[in-house]
Amino acid sequence: MYKKLDLYMTLQVHEKAELEIISGAYKRLSKKYHPDINKDKNAEEKMKQINYAFSILSDADERKKYDDYLKNIVQKNSYSHLYNYPKEFHKEIKKASKLLNSYFECLSSGDIKAGFDKISLIDKKKITLSDFLNWQKQVLKYFKIIDWDISFKNIDNSRINIGDVINVFVFNVVIEEREALLGKCNVVNIERLVLSEGDNLGVYLGYEDLKEETRKLLKAVNSTMETIEDSEFAIGEKLIRKYVNEEVKRALKYNRSFSLIMVEVFLNKGDNMNKEDFEAIITKVMATTRSSDKVTALTSERLMVFLPETGLRGAKKAAEKIKIALMEHSINTGKSQLFKVEIAAHKD
């Protein structure tokens, strides 16, 4: 039934949408397309599709099967360039793709040592496990890999002319990552090589000195933090405006809801808020939110939580969760802090 139907598009939700958002979308669309309300001749068929999509996406096991089905389609498409090469290459290209995917799984889950095991022998001659662990720990502190998509590009043996390299497999990788400092998600397009070195397959990094790469990363992070401070969190305000504008457009098009929650910290007279304390508060707030929500600092004592596809009722629940989490944080740390959590705006 409905084999070619895009279930996420049918419910007008993102592929990573949580059950709460999916349920909200279903209720909204049901009101719009139910045959008792909508007299359009296509409304009944549309409602059947909506019911079918919800029956799959609201069931964890069925949704996993559907997501796996989508991944298989993407994977087949990612191997489309295979047919430019003789059949004897196909098996090794697929092995290289699986290795690269496994490498990103390790980085995403924080299993850094296992990730090191998957890099090329050429890299291991220049990079120690200690340097790799330190580099990735710093990366994971500021950037969290959310998702990635790998597609085979070509075989280009001219790329690497050292060691015992037999074949160089070139892949395009699209990475979705969350940047902790700015509380935003980025999409990064990179190229990654997998080397066939005798009997070994390895992900090629190509760094001469990882300690230097780590220093570059920390320098960039410090520069970003200074920019945030110098601009009095203007970046955060711009991000919130951007999210709101985007959501308003979606709301007008699909009649979607959204909400904004403001969190303010009040200190005793003479007390100052240091970076570590404020970052701890942001972490506590983020722990109460969904993956689709956005948490952004506006000043050194104020932050905004953006809740897509969430009306007043859902915003009240979210605000209550934040209040409880911050009260517990204040008690556990022994800090004399008061918090004001209020719904700044909403659209049902």
State the pLDDT at residue 20. 82
Which of 283, 296, 189 has the alpha carbon at shortest distance from 244? 296
State the pLDDT at residue 77. 53
CA angle 250-251-254, nearest 5°?
75
DSSP letter for 123, please. H
What's this model's pTM, rounded to 2 decimal places? 0.48
Predicted confidence pLDDT, tens digits, the chain (348 residues) = 556 678 888 888 877 778 888 888 888 888 888 888 888 888 888 888 899 999 999 999 999 888 888 776 655 555 555 556 667 778 888 899 999 999 999 988 889 999 999 999 999 998 899 999 988 888 887 778 888 888 888 888 888 877 788 889 998 888 887 776 555 666 778 889 999 998 899 999 988 877 777 777 667 656 655 554 444 445 555 666 666 666 555 655 555 677 888 898 887 666 666 777 888 888 889 889 887 788 877 777 788 888 887 888 888 999 999 999 988 888 888 776 788 898 877 766
State the pLDDT at residue 27. 87
State the pLDDT at residue 232. 44
State the pLDDT at residue 69. 80
State the pLDDT at residue 257. 73
State the pLDDT at residue 104. 92
State the pLDDT at residue 93. 87
Positive or negative, the CA dihedral 6, 11, 16, 20 is negative
State the pLDDT at residue 228. 46
Domains of the chain: 7-72 (1.10.287.110), 80-209 (3.10.450.100), 231-347 (3.30.70.270)
What are the Cα distances from residue 180, in Å, to 6, 15, 20, 331?
32, 22, 24, 25
Q: Long-range contacts: 251-255, Cβ < 8 Å, 24+?
A: 251/347, 254/12, 255/28, 255/32
How far is Cα 124 from Cα 197, in angstroms, rounded to an integer? Answer: 13
Which of 26, 62, 63, 18 has the alpha carbon at shortest distance from 47? 26
Contact (CB, 8 A) for 137 and 112: yes
How far is Cα 310 from Cα 250, in angstroms, rounded to an integer? Answer: 13
Contact (CB, 8 A) for 343 and 323: no
